[in-house]
Amino acid sequence: MKSPLPKHMYANPIKELYSPWSFYTRYFPDPVEPQLKKHPKLVNIAADFFQVVVGSATAIIVGNLGGDYSSVKNRTAVKTHIWRERNTALAFKAKVRDGFTCQICRVSFPELYGKLGVGFAEVHHIVQLSSLNATAETTLAQLLTVCANCHRMLHKLNGKKSDIGILKKAFTGKWPSTVTT
């Protein structure tokens, strides 16, 4: 530490910031002797400390604490993952078939965004690729043109064909009244 810790800070959780790491700790005015490490009072102090840390982290995540909290962004990292191959030509055919219109909420990207929306939409696999045990052929009938929001909602559901009907029913009539073109 650059300067001594003020007495009122002892025994309170402290977040120490070191670039690029940070951690929570707790300082005590007197050294803890090795034979006292298993002392019940120390265990209670440690348990209280972790309760405060977890409570603080929860409050930050939920947004119950004020203040400006920074985080590191834009770091580069190399990751290895499994990529499921898709047929972009088939996906494009599905978008053309559906007029680049979301088949759930009926948003038409060209109508809503003009030239910017031309050729834009996402395609959802009615049978999720991750549910298949082996390679499989995809047909045009298995693809559905959707907007990004409806696509995320479909993936939030159970991954079944019936999810499309469930989402359409949940959505019916909610979008057109809020959008003006």
Residues 93-131: tens digit of each pLDDT: 999 999 899 999 989 988 888 999 888 899 999 877 777
Residue 119 contacts residue 99 (beta carbons within 8 Å): no
Query: Are 137 and 100 part of one and the same domain?
Result: yes
The number of domains in the chain is: 2
Residue 113: half-sphere exposure toward Cβ, Cα within 13 Å: 14
> Structure pTM?
0.53
Report if residue 105 sits inside a domain. Answer: yes
3-state secondary structure of 63: coil
Query: Are 104 and 58 part of one and the same domain?
Result: no
Cis-peptide, bond into residue 176, ω within 30° of zero? no
Q: Which domain holds residue 15?
A: 7-62
Report if residue 110 sits inside a domain. Answer: yes
Angle at 138 between CA 132 and CA 144, to 5 degrees: 100
Residues 32-50: tens digit of each pLDDT: 555 455 566 766 777 777 7
